[in-house]
Amino acid sequence: MKRALLASLGLLALSACDNSNTGPAGMSEDEHSKRAVELAHEMLIVDTHIDVPYRLNARYEDVSKATETGDFDYPRAVAGGLDAPFMSIYTPASYEFEGAGKAFGHANSMIDLVEKIAADAPDKFTLAHSPDAVLSAKKAGKMALVLGMENGAPIEGDLENLEHFYQRGIRYITLAHSRSNHIADSSYDEERPNDGLSDFGVDVVRAMNDLGIMVDVSHISDAAFWDVIDNSAVPVIASHSSARHFTPNFERNMSDDMIKALADKGGVIMINFGSAFLTEEANGYGGALDAAFESWLSQSDAEPTDTMREDFEARYKMEHPYPFATLNHVLDHIDHVVEIAGIDAVGIGSDYDGVDDTLPIGLKDVAAYPNLIEGLLARGYDEAAIAKIMGNNLMRVWRAIDRYRKEKNKGA
């Protein structure tokens, strides 16, 4: 099957990693490949955004075994060396506006699902609510499932709900998603009712600091980002964003000034693997398709239907294949962040199972982390720097936030 083939290819050397064939200490390409696989299983790999729960909510599969669909399952994750995937507890933006309790209830059901994954395969998975728990899981040979909430809508205007989700294991919250909500404005939404963070959003950020929940600035508007920087007492993360330098008109990615401010605060941007986050060509593909359809429709007397749109898309994609990014583009984003903000400011937040079929060539599923390590070796990164990118930078931020929580609660 296609997925199995991609998984097996995930461990192959990619000659296109760089124009050179040597890296640290004059290593050959074959030596890079072998060492990359070794490092993937030695060092801690933390991926801060994998959308398994919502994928399984639509169609449940036993991910403790090989699956025919999706980007994640246990065998592929083990092959790739993944230690700590943050399971995205995603709530659709519309749920905030569909009645009290809907967003809250949905988020709880997604957490239930992750708990089921761990309970059904306790020899393979364990829930991890702290950095030490992640390290203990690795030592025990288990995969640590960590929870990150994508969209703060389930808080539903009540800080007691924030406390509830902390107790259930949520360790970061992406404040908004595709629509502005009661906490923050969204980068995807033309409506910006909060002009950044709402007053309640400021309270949420400060309460997250006190509880020990990482503030995630992915998805929010630029104004909301700067409000977070002004109001958070601890480092913040971007769990699955990339550099706007390569996609100038895409607010969902982060500008150089934002990346530098994030780094100055001790935070980390976790690079998103979706092709539309990596290259301008892929980012503009959907708009080009829409424009082509509208142009074609204007020359026809027919009323548009879903079937008509689907047929047109199929023809368009045959004539204009999707311009997949490559591993090199991911490496370019990492290089750029390191250049402007330093090695401590970058990590990985792949968005596996969240960006549909737009993943780059060479990073098609969770078996492919060795390819990324091989590419970093080929570009001259030493092993200590690679360990920071693959997980240690995120762990540093998480520990800093944990320390702040303990200090705030000392004697309470």
Q: What is the mean pLDDT of residues 51-72?
A: 96
In this prediction, residue 412 has a pLDDT band, given cuts at 50, 70 and 90, of low
Cβ contact 313:281 at 8 Å: no
Predicted confidence at residue 7, as pLDDT, reads 33
The string of DSSP codes covering 38-102 is: HHHHHS--EEEEE-HHHHHHHS---TTS--SSSS--HHHHHHHT--EEEEEEE--GGGGGS-TTH
Q: What does the pLDDT look like over 277-288, one tens digit per residue?
A: 999 999 999 999
Domains by residue range for the chain, with CATH? 2-279+325-409 (3.20.20.140), 284-322 (no CATH)
Cβ contact 327:360 at 8 Å: yes
Q: What is the mean pLDDT of residues 340-362?
A: 97
Range with the poorest average pLDDT among 113-127, 248-262, 288-302, 334-348: 288-302
Exposed, middle or buried, 182 (CB in 10 Å: 0-12/13-18/19+)?
middle
Q: What does the pLDDT look like over 218-258, one tens digit per residue?
A: 999 999 999 999 999 999 999 999 999 999 999 999 999 99
Residue 302 corresponds to which tokens in the numbers above? 């027919």
Q: What does the pLDDT look like over 354-389, one tens digit per residue?
A: 998 999 999 999 999 999 999 999 999 999 999 999
Residue the block writes with tokens 């995930």: 10
